[in-house]
Chain A
Amino acid sequence: MTTLIIIVIYLGLLLGLGIFSARFSRGTSEDFFVASHSIGPVLLLMSVFGTTMTAFALVGSTGEAYANGIGVYGKMASWSGLIHSAVFFIIGIKMWSYGRKYGFVTQCQYFRDRFESNAIGYVLFPILIALVIPYLLIGILGAGSVLLGVTKGALPAVFPATGGAIPPWLTGLVICSVVLTYVFLGGMRAAAWANTFQTIVFMIMGCLAFYIISTKLGGLEAATQMAKPERLIRGDHVPQLQFLTYCFVPLSVGMFPHLFQHWLTAKSAKTFRLTVIAHPIFILIVWVPCILIGVWATGAVIDGVRIIPEGARANAVLGIMVGKLAGSPYSGLVTAGILAAIMSSLDSQFMCLGTMFTNDIVFHHFGKDRFSEKQQILLARIFIVFIVLLTYAFTLFEPRRVFTLGVWCFSGFSALFPLVFASVYWKRVTKPGAYACIVTAAAVWFYFFRDSNYGKVPDYLVLGMMPVAVIFLCSTIAIVVVSLLTKVPSQKTITKYFPSSAQEV
């Protein structure tokens, strides 16, 4: 019960933060959508990091480490440390400059202008939304799994079917409602402040969870001694080619709609510097404790009894370890930290959806002047609620492993990376080439995703590689070949985006 009270207090604090940030709202759509470009370096770092550290990073990494061992750090975390910052550096800063110079708020606005095509936005928009939905889904699934594990036995009379634990459907409903509320109250500014607060909370609580769990297991050495030996190496659990081709997954940050929006909220390009440097370090701080907890869970026993029951789902491992070992009030604090990580991603995604819909569909089709500031914000909110309800409906189906679903989601965005990279660095890329890239990426991604039974197969490979490698290759070939075979962009566009070398292509 103490755990539940702490969680309720934490959620209340978030709502309070939303109400407080709303006082600073200027009431304009620009303030609602991009906080009037007033976010500085620390807030940007916390915001970006909070957005990228999701249920995937906590629930997913722990579960994956439980299932396949330490290799998950190398697969995702260390590759991300190198590649995320590279993408921020080579793509993010350029995107910031285009946003500042030409007033873009969304990716679709940028791509429409870059490729001289209105229709490309209508093609890209549903694909981006479709890929964001799994990203929302892993957050809601992750939260539900954690609370299911942590609150076991808390309310047996109220929830007998789950052994007294808060059922995932209720957790999902509550966190969606809390996030929607503070986002609706304060917009992007509330999301940025909440991200900062929540990033600090989950980093501190992550360290706390690690300390408490290791102590309860008899210390760091004793905990590791309990683990299954095969989880302490990569061995056969991680094929070498799979490990290598995981490098394509972090490229997804180049096309995350909500990160693009974060890049736009920076005061200046200099505000990216801290993010570029600190991101790999912050990833390390969050992932290492989670992975060790997952590995320890494979053999952790207290008084001769296994902590994790045989056959337990990977998603449930973190929640069970925290629930059984942290004890009150720490389990409440740690759970709040986990929820913080999850919600800090959800808020940015919710904001992003609303911005995309209003700008890329409604304003683009009907014209912005047709709607008042209040109507613009209302339209965004309606669409956000629609997508959240749709995603929530998906959570009621058989759940997938958070890590697996997360990788599929990221793979889709990674497959579109050739599009953004070419748009920034290749003058010769054409409109048909861009279409070919988008359609190929979407089609090949869906083909493999369906073949994996929509993420049900956890270690689905294509020719021994991560599917993202093959999809990336296909979309790259499509954009290059089709661009070379089609008419070059107009000189006006080339001059606009490549001013220092404005020559005939």
Chain B
Amino acid sequence: MKKIIYGAAIVLAILHQDFWYWDDATLIYGFLPVGLVYHMVYSLLAGLLWAMAVFFAWPSHIEEEAEQSIQEMEKNTAL
């Protein structure tokens, strides 16, 4: 799952360069330039990507390691 998320992040980075909308003056809903809408959707996708990263690729081992170290330090201090 982590590899899928990292891969998705790279794909999203590549898709940032939306040259196909560069000179497109289309208005969405009559007021939103399509070049702006594309990047608004991009931001939403970024949020979704990071939600997936949090739920499926959270580095729990970092937390566990830190808490373990603190407990050991506290134990040593008590002794």
Contact = CB atoms under 8 A, between A and B. Distances in A.
Interface of A: 70-71, 73-74, 77-79, 81-82, 85-86, 89, 93-94, 96-97, 100-101, 220-221, 223-224, 229, 232-235, 240, 243-244, 247, 268-270, 273, 276-281, 283-284, 288, 291-292, 295, 499
Contacts of B24: 233
Q: Most chain-A CB neighbours within 10 Å: which of B16, B18, B35, B50?
A: B50
B46 A85 contact: yes
A323 B43 CA distance: 30
B35 A276 contact: no
A277 B33 contact: no
A144 to B, nearest CB: 29
A70 B53 CA distance: 29
25 contacts: A70-B33, A70-B35, A74-B18, A78-B16, A78-B40, A81-B43, A82-B42, A85-B46, A89-B50, A93-B59, A96-B66, A97-B66, A100-B66, A240-B17, A244-B17, A269-B62, A273-B58, A276-B53, A278-B47, A279-B50, A280-B46, A281-B44, A284-B43, A292-B32, A499-B65
Given A70-B35, A235-B22, A499-B65, 13 more contacts: A74-B18, A74-B39, A82-B13, A85-B46, A86-B50, A97-B62, A101-B69, A229-B25, A243-B17, A276-B50, A278-B47, A283-B43, A292-B32
B4 interface: no
* Majority secondary structure, A binding face: helix
Interface of B: 9, 12-13, 16-19, 22-25, 27, 29-33, 35-36, 39-40, 42-44, 46-47, 49-51, 53-54, 58-59, 62-63, 65-66, 69-70, 73
A269 B66 contact: yes
B13 A73 contact: no
Contact of B43 (A78, A96, A247, A269): A78
A78 to B, nearest CB: 4
B35 A74 contact: yes
Contacts of B46: 78, 81-82, 85, 280
Contacts of B62: 93-94, 97, 269
Contacts of B54: 273, 276-277
Contacts, number: 128
A240 B22 CA distance: 9
B36 A288 contact: yes
A82 B9 contact: yes
Contacts of A74: 16, 18, 35, 39, 42
A233 B19 CA distance: 11
Contact of B9 (A86, A278, A284, A291): A86
B47 A280 contact: yes
B43 to A, nearest CB: 4
Nearest to B27: A224
Contacts of A94: 62
A278 B54 CA distance: 11
A221 B22 CA distance: 21
Nearest first, the 7 A-B pairs at minimum CB distance are: A220-B31, A97-B66, A221-B30, A280-B46, A78-B39, A224-B31, A81-B46
Contacts of A283: 43
Contact of B63 (A234, A243, A268): A268
A273 B45 CA distance: 16
Contact of A280 (B13, B25, B35, B43): B43
Contacts of A223: 31
A77 B43 contact: yes
B53 A284 contact: no
B63 A81 contact: no
A240 B31 contact: no
B19 A240 contact: yes
A207 to B, nearest CB: 15
A232 B65 contact: no
A230 to B, nearest CB: 9
A36 to B, nearest CB: 15
A334 to B, nearest CB: 20
Contacts of B39: 73-74, 77-78
B4 to A, nearest CB: 15
A101 B42 CA distance: 37
Given A78-B39, A232-B25, A247-B13, A280 B70 contact: no
Contacts of A82: 9, 12-13, 16, 42, 46, 49
A97 B66 CA distance: 5
Contact of B47 (A77, A234, A268, A281): A281
B35 A78 contact: no
Contacts of A244: 16-17
Contacts of A280: 43-44, 46-47, 50
Contacts of A73: 36, 39-40
Nearest to A232: B33
